[in-house]
Chains A and B, each alone.
Chain A
Amino acid sequence: MKWDDERVDRAIRAADPAAASLDEGKSQRAQLVLDEILNGRRTDAATRFRPRRSSVRFWAPAAAVLVLVLVMIVAVPLTSTRAVALTPPVLTFDSRTGLTVEDLVDRSITMLSEASAEAEPARGSRFVGWYLDATITDMGSTAVISPQITSVRWNPDLSGRITIVAGEPYSATGGPLPDPRPSGTAEPGTVLSDMTFEAGEYQPLSEVMPGDSSSEMRSFLASYGLPSTYNAGDIMLAVGGAFGEWTLSDRQHASILRLLADAPGAEVLGSGTDRAGRRVWGVRGIPSQADGASSQLMLISADTGRIVGLETMLTRAVEEPPLKAGSVISYTMWDTNEGDLDQ
């Protein structure tokens, strides 16, 4: 089930250490206050409500709940399900090119240096991600993948707007969509979220327009979680964050690729086609932060040299949900055109 705002709000309130002591009236008033803050709906009840509690251990419930769950896991009977296709199909690559990372980066940088567009980075991003709705039962399983197109635009005064629009849903197995569709599956083109920020309200992790050099790119990516000692996978993770807020210039892409070539742990998978039908090269890295359990796949356009995609895959099988090693658990694409967004 998707984590929409309502579900997040409900879960946060449920995590309140003193939730059990709140009467229903107080809960309703608390909701009104939240509505005022988050949605701009102001009510008298919201402004009057001032419950106070003191000296509550803030994060105690997490541990308590975890113990409860562990007990429940031991106590329950097993259910049987089979490992099924719950996630998007894995991209395949032709490794016969025999390219090294250095070769690939050199080729890409050559293309980037010959391009004439995008001399400056842009504040904002447009990218395609996805949301999975899976149902697993003893009788069978369905998994619907719903692409989402996110557009972020922000200004030097830190005003901005973020919109999320539903793409065309598809079955993880490649077959027809289940009928009826899962409740969370929106029609293509549905605006799932449209948020406007007034001046000063948008807060990117790096609001200063980054420079072009590799050292400037390294500093820029540090704002997005790149540790001081990093490998290729760490760069990929940081790129995923940075590209959600900025659309970088070709020169900046080139600098990131140089960082990638100089970092340990980059493995060229070969050439292939991404989920938008574009010719790409795939480079894999395992972030140091991920405990070796997932890998990152960076997709570099074979036509422009730009970084156009990032995917996360499991490096080992897991139990719940039942997923095989190699399953794709996340993907994001950038530089997409309108016609590319069906997947």
Chain B
Amino acid sequence: MRWMAELSVTGPELDDLIEVSMALDRLSDDDRELVRLTYWEGLSAVEAGRTLGLSDGAVKVRLTRARARLRELLEGRRAVTIRRGSAREVG
């Protein structure tokens, strides 16, 4: 019996990129914006807070929770990937 190993051939970094992109898409709009400002735009907590109307403490908390949520989604992604997969005997 042979199986097509899809994920292994894409490379771990690329897998991560796909999964994190899809997980980011499942965050709330507010959390995505927070991720964008801090991870991508490089804003500090104070600056991001000023943009979003939050205290820097609230930014830290929300970003920590957003990352925790991402981790949760990414761990769950394994299941999501599994759910979307279909067994294919190829040889």
Contacts and interface: CB of A to CB of B under 8 A. Distances in A.
Interface of A: 1, 3, 5, 7-19, 26, 29-30, 33-34, 36-38, 40, 46-47, 49-53, 56, 58-59, 61-62, 65-66, 68-69, 72-73, 76, 78-83, 131, 136, 195, 197-198, 200-203, 290-291, 293-294, 312, 314, 316-323, 329-330
Given A3-B74, A65-B17, A78-B90, A38 B67 contact: yes
B64 A38 contact: yes
B7 to A, nearest CB: 5
Given A12-B24, A62-B22, A203-B61, A290 B38 contact: no
Interface of B: 1-10, 12-14, 16-22, 24-25, 32, 35-36, 38-45, 47-48, 57-65, 67, 70-71, 74-75, 78-79, 81-88, 90-91
Contact of B75 (A3, A17, A18, A195): A3
Contact of B42 (A3, A38, A51, A203): A51
B42 A72 contact: no
A6 B6 CA distance: 25
B22 A73 contact: no
A10 B16 CA distance: 9
16 contacts: A9-B67, A11-B17, A12-B35, A14-B20, A49-B44, A62-B24, A65-B14, A65-B17, A69-B18, A81-B5, A200-B58, A294-B82, A318-B85, A319-B3, A323-B82, A330-B79
A3 B5 contact: no
Contacts of A30: 39-40, 42
Tell me if A's interface is mostly helix, strand, loop or mixed: mixed
Contact of A78 (B2, B14, B62): B2
A78 B21 contact: no
A49 B42 contact: yes
B37 to A, nearest CB: 10
Most chain A CB neighbours (cut-off 10 Å) among B24, B42, B62, B63: B42
A76 B9 contact: yes
A171 to B, nearest CB: 19
Nearest to A80: B2
A314 B35 CA distance: 32
Contacts of B87: 316-319, 322
Contacts of A3: 71, 74-75
Q: Which 9 pairs, one residue from A and one from B, show the smallest C-beta to C-beta distance?
A: A62-B21, A317-B87, A318-B85, A293-B83, A11-B20, A11-B16, A76-B9, A201-B61, A30-B42
Nearest to A330: B79
A52 B44 CA distance: 12
B21 A81 contact: no
A61 B48 CA distance: 23
B5 A320 contact: yes
Contacts of B78: 329
B40 A18 contact: yes
B55 to A, nearest CB: 9
A37 B42 contact: no
Contacts of B22: 62
B10 to A, nearest CB: 5
A200 B87 CA distance: 47
Contacts of A319: 3-4, 6, 85-88
A78 B91 contact: yes
Contact of A50 (B25, B43, B60): B43
Nearest to A1: B12
